[in-house]
């Protein structure tokens, strides 16, 4: 058996690991929705360096783009054996991570659920409704 090392609760690698321990198959898009981070592959690599055997499968899917193009993406997950090795410690760890996420959501007033990976559209609009850049703000002072 390989020793499993857990990242600090609340870190982005911990948020990935909690989902993997819950037997989720995580893609970049899935993780971006709950974390607002574009760096899933980097966190997977950090977990691997900590002893976690994260399986990755490459999949090619058609996009919703009207041109009909395809995208290649990775799906990440843990083997059942690894999840069983983590056992109660892994379940307790994942619970702590999801509790941390829920607390952050409540503190920030964002209505995003780490449980079902959904985001309230109003909360998303709050984040994306002001697309102005620093240059645009500086230009408006003229």
**What is the band of 64 on the pLDDT scale with cuts at 50, 70, 90?**
confident
| CATH number of the CATH domain containing 19 | 1.10.10
What b/e readout covers 9-36, taking b as 16+ CB neighbours within 10 angstroms?
beebbbbbbbbbbbebebbbebbeebbe
pTM assigned to the model: 0.71
Domain-located, residue 1: no
| The pLDDT value given to residue 142 | 40
Domain-located, residue 114: yes
Domain-located, residue 3: no
Q: Exposure of 37 by Cβ count < 10 A (0-12 exposed, 13-18 middle, 19+ buried)?
A: middle
Of the given ranges (50-59, 73-82, 83-92, 114-123), which has the lowest mean pLDDT?
Answer: 114-123
Confidence check: pLDDT of 78 > 70: yes
**What is the band of 141 on the pLDDT scale with cuts at 50, 70, 90?**
very low
How far separated are the first and last CA of the chain, in Å rounded?
65
Confidence check: pLDDT of 40 > 60: yes
| H or E, element range at 15 | helix 12-21
Q: What is the mean pLDDT of the chain?
A: 80
Domain-located, residue 108: yes
Confidence check: pLDDT of 85 > 50: yes
Number of folded domains that form the chain: 1
Confidence check: pLDDT of 83 > 70: yes
| The pLDDT value given to residue 4 | 87
Question: pLDDT tens digits for 96-135?
Answer: 999 999 998 888 875 544 444 443 333 333 333 333 333 3
Range(s) of the domain holding residue 124: 12-140
Residue 116 three-state SS: coil
Domain-located, residue 18: yes
Domain-located, residue 67: yes
């Amino acid at each position: 058996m390989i020793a499993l090392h857990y990242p600090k609760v609340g870190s982005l690698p911990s948020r990935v690991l909690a989902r993997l321990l819950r037997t989720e198959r995580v893609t970049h898009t899935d993780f971006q929705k709950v974390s607002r981070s574009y760096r899933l592959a980097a966190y997977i690599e950090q977990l691997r360096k900590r002893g976690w055997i994260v399986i990755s499968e490459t999949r090619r899917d058609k996009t919703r783009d009207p041109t009909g193009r395809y995208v290649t993406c990775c799906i990440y997950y843990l083997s059942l054996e690894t999840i069983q090795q983590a056992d109660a410690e892994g379940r307790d760890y994942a619970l702590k991570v999801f509790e941390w996420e829920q607390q952050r959501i409540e503190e920030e007033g964002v209505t995003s659920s780490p449980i079902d990976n959904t985001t309230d559209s109003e909360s998303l609009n709050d984040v994306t409704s002001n697309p102005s850049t620093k240059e645009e703000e500086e230009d408006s002072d003229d």
